[in-house]
Amino acid sequence: SEDTDSDQLKNVPQSTENGIDNEAFEMGVVSRPINATEKYFKAHSKIFKYVVLGILGAGYVAYFIAACVLDFQRATALVVLTILAVVATSYELLMKYKGESISHFLKPAVRCFQSNLKWLKCMRTREDVLLLVFFLDTSKRPEQLISFGGVCMFIVLLYLFSAHRSMISWRPVFWGLGMEFCIGLFVIRTEPGLIAFDWLGKQVQVFLDYTKEGSSFVFGDLIANIFAFQALPIVVFFSSVMSILYFLGIMQWLILKISWVMEITMGTSPTETLSVAGNIFVGQTEAPLLIRPYLKEMTKSEIHAVMTGGFATIAGSVMGAFISFGIDASSLISASVMAAPCALAISKLSYPETEESAFKAEKNIKVACGDEQNILEAASSGASASIGLVANIAANLIAFLAILAFINQALSWLGGMVGYPEITFQVRSEIISTYALCGFANFSSLGIVIGGLSSISPSRRSDISSLVLRAMVTGTCVSLINACVAGLLFVPPLDCVGIFRGSAFNATDLNIQQCCQDLFQSTVNNGNITFEGQWSSIPNVTLFFSKCCQCCGLSDVPVCL
């Protein structure tokens, strides 16, 4: 019986093992074609990748051609985006495969440029010419000299109160202010700049209007009458979109390109430049996340520049809220772009570099990314992160508008005692105030900056706390310098109606000629003379029109015939 039991015990596992082997064999037979197919795809992955990209590319080209043929004007935005994508992709491919060859080819020219700096002497002559042109321009509008004096005053004050005056490097200061001035000149004074930023502002406004779909579903008809339900959801929407763009790597690419331009011109380190460039699009606590791994090794001057950039600019989500308030979108966008080089310039004037930076080359600097695993998580985390910001905006609006109303009433009461009850604290110049207020330099932001940066790098808490107040003051000066540059360049439109009413229509008066030309451009003469635009609702416009035709030798203008 013992032999029988032992035989049975031996047979049981044997039969079980045979069953497992059979199942494994069957599974192997079934999975063998799948494994072979998988290996084939892995071995030829590049070919399949190129085939898919080729199909997608051909499809997009067909779509692009069809859109342009059907209505080219409607497809203008598509054409611009396509050109930008092609240029950016071509540049990336060129630098990836031929970057070293190009650098080697240009080395002799760079050495020659660096060894022959005699052209700097010529810069003095050019500066004299620029100053002459500037004073000729301001001779027609002397009030612009007030803005120029403001820029000079802030630079002198920051120099006097600089932490290390003897260590100031003027290269980043002058380059940063020069870049700010050039951006402002392009945006405010040139027609292509006005058109481009006006178009960009309108597109941003259209994009932000999509917020109404979500807020109307949640709040219903309340969005039509209540400000909080109409404007603040824009912050949530914009924050979510920015989070998605970060997840896709689009924002990182754009920030790296902008920082590269400032770095090679101003000579600042890659880390501080990267953070300040990020402040154009994101807030004062989000931008330092781009350089999270390097913050603990940065110098005090670099940390000061990072904080100044945060104080001197506004986040994209807050910009969206400001646009919903009715503030001009193109002015907000240009102010945020202008503030970046100015922030770096002024920060190096307020707290110059006195240490050796550990980051000399950009090749060792990588942009930090978020922890999101997919695009849906990125959208959700961006929306969730905006909750505190929305509450902060609402609370500050309640407090500051109430305080402003009290101050206005107090000033009106005091002015009434001496016969001037109209005295208030209201800012009259909308454009200049837009540039001045485009920043986060306020006392409530001190805690945000200290808490945000200390959480990223706890070992630098003491340095951050000791520099944050100076950075806030410097950020305030950056915003005010931005406003001064805007006031320096901004030319208010002519009050043609007032000029016509108080003028004898002198042919030598340039303002009369310009206003008459504007009136003629809005005139339609198809048998009956009619007026378009602002002139259609102005009384006595026919009288102004006839006087314009009689004066200035303009009687042969087609609309006057």
What does pLDDT average to in each consecutive run of 10 residues of the chain (561 residues)?
48 49 58 73 80 89 90 84 84 79 77 59 50 62 76 90 88 86 82 78 76 83 74 78 80 75 79 81 72 80 89 74 71 81 90 80 56 82 78 72 80 79 57 67 73 79 88 89 82 71 71 75 66 71 75 60 56
pLDDT of amino acid 141:
67
Interstrand relation of 523-525 and 529-531 (parallel, antiparallel or unpaired) = antiparallel
The residue with tokens 């760079």 is 110
pLDDT of amino acid 157:
92
In 3D space, the residue among 315, 307, 245 whose CA is nearest the CA of residue 276 turns out to be 307
Q: If you compute the radius of gyration of the chain from its CA atoms, what whole number of angstroms results?
A: 32
pLDDT of amino acid 428:
46
Alpha-carbon distance of 188 to 281, in angstroms, equals 21
Global pTM reads 0.65
pLDDT of amino acid 124:
45
Tokens of 432: 């200049």
| C-alpha distances out from residue 520 to 99, 261, 527, 529, 542, Å | 55, 44, 15, 11, 11
Count Cα neighbours of 32 within 13 Å in the Cβ-side half-sphere.
Answer: 7
pLDDT of amino acid 2:
45
pLDDT of amino acid 128:
55
pLDDT in tens, 56-79: 889 999 999 999 998 888 888 788
pLDDT of amino acid 265:
79
Tokens of 310: 């945060």
At 73 the three-state DSSP class reads coil
In 3D space, the residue among 286, 285, 294, 306 whose CA is nearest the CA of residue 243 turns out to be 286
Bridge partner residues of 530 (DSSP)? 524
Alpha-carbon distance of 25 to 14, in angstroms, equals 16
Alpha-carbon distance of 530 to 526, in angstroms, equals 8
In one-letter notation, the amino acid at residue 357 is S
Alpha-carbon distance of 234 to 318, in angstroms, equals 9
pLDDT of amino acid 360:
62
Residue 42: exposure state from Cβ atoms within 10 A (0-12, 13-18, ≥19): exposed
Tokens of 165: 């005056």
In 3D space, the residue among 151, 481, 179, 478 whose CA is nearest the CA of residue 347 turns out to be 478
In 3D space, the residue among 521, 442, 528, 532 whose CA is nearest the CA of residue 479 turns out to be 442
Alpha-carbon distance of 188 to 220, in angstroms, equals 40
pLDDT of amino acid 346:
92
pLDDT of amino acid 427:
52
pLDDT in tens, 139-162: 666 667 778 888 889 999 999 999
In 3D space, the residue among 402, 391, 437, 398 whose CA is nearest the CA of residue 232 turns out to be 391
Q: Whole-angstrom distance between the N-terminal and C-terminal Cα of the chain?
A: 132
Torsion of CA 370, 374, 375, 379, to 10 degrees: -60
Phi-psi region of 552 (alpha: psi -120 to 50; beta: other; left: phi over 0): left
